[in-house]
Amino acid sequence: MDTRRLRYLHELAQLGSMRAVADVLETTTSTVSQQIAALSKETGAQLLEPVGRGVRLTAAGRRLAEHARKILAAVDAAQLDLDPSAEPSGTLRVGGFATAIRITLMPIIKELSTLHPAVNIVVFEHEPAEALNQLGVDDLDLALTYDYNLAPDPPNPGIESIQLWSTPWGLGVPSQDAESLRTAKDQPDAAGIFATFKERNWIGNSRNIADETVLRLISSMAGFQPAMRHQSDSLDLVEDLILAGLGVGLLPENRPPREGITILPLHNPDLHLRSFARVRAGRSAWPALRLVLDRMGA
């Protein structure tokens, strides 16, 4: 069985169409079709079946695609492991959310520019779903993603995940509206805080549904559905909307103070953002990637 043909089957299982596979592997749909037909002949199993104007994997094709994922990861690991002590070099493509890039990656880039100048890091700003999609089709070597403990987002099979750091998040509200809660003898839990603002408009994230998932979850505990009126992936804009009285939304508790905004801690349940370094299985032995992961403490 030719492992190169397994690559075509694996990508088809991930992407769903021969055109998409051809684009990713920089070839033609005819070549993709021929390679999978040859693989079908090698295995003696029907791997594809027609559906509409396209094709889909048969049950045998899906089983072989799962084997292909593991085989290709093992081949990648074997190739990278031939010389794991080699001096790190090459271009490392890193995509992730802005906070992780600033806090975790930028100090490493500065350090490596002096200690390991042969490692060239290219940065792409992406929200988690975008970064994981790019990682899945091999357009990134490292994805820096996040989820919330109340809205976990485990990666797909074939992706290795290492947790980096965690930070508590709360509800950002106008300061004048927070005074009664801050001075109350019995501090309300997360649902109680949300209930206080149930008549307000709420601010979600325009590129990641995790924020809205958390808002709806805690709101449901308080017995209401939040009016999701605004979306922003910029924390600065979230604060601007709060200051303008246009809504309330989630903010990290360690956010630098801004006059007029209070971040109310959320407890019972607590809310934490969790950051992750994610790589394709079998790739972390590559010296350049291993160097960066080690610097991250991953």
Is 290 part of a structural domain of the chain? yes
Is 150 part of a structural domain of the chain? yes
Chain segment 75-125, per-residue pLDDT in tens: 877 766 566 677 888 899 999 999 999 999 999 999 999 999 999 999 999
Whether residue 161 sits in one domain with residue 23: no
Whether residue 261 sits in one domain with residue 174: yes
CB 214 within 8 A of CB 150: yes
Q: Which of 26, 50, 80 is the last residue of a domain?
A: 80
Whether residue 261 sits in one domain with residue 172: yes
% of the chain at pLDDT higher than 90: 77
CB 36 within 8 A of CB 47: yes
Split into its structural domains, the chain has a count of: 3
Residue 282, class by beta-carbon neighbours within 10 Å (0-12 exposed, 13-18 middle, 19+ buried)? buried
Chain segment 34-61, per-residue pLDDT in tens: 999 999 999 999 999 999 888 999 999 9
Is 85 part of a structural domain of the chain? no
d(Cα 24, Cα 10) in Å, to the nearest integer? 12
Could you tell me the pLDDT band of residue 27, with boundaries at 50, 70 and 90? very high
Whether residue 134 sits in one domain with residue 122: yes
Triad 241, 179, 196: Cα angle to 5°: 70
Chain segment 212-233, per-residue pLDDT in tens: 999 999 999 999 999 999 999 8
Structural domain that includes position 103: 90-165+274-296
Which DSSP helix (H) or strand (E) runs through 198? none
Whether residue 264 sits in one domain with residue 186: yes
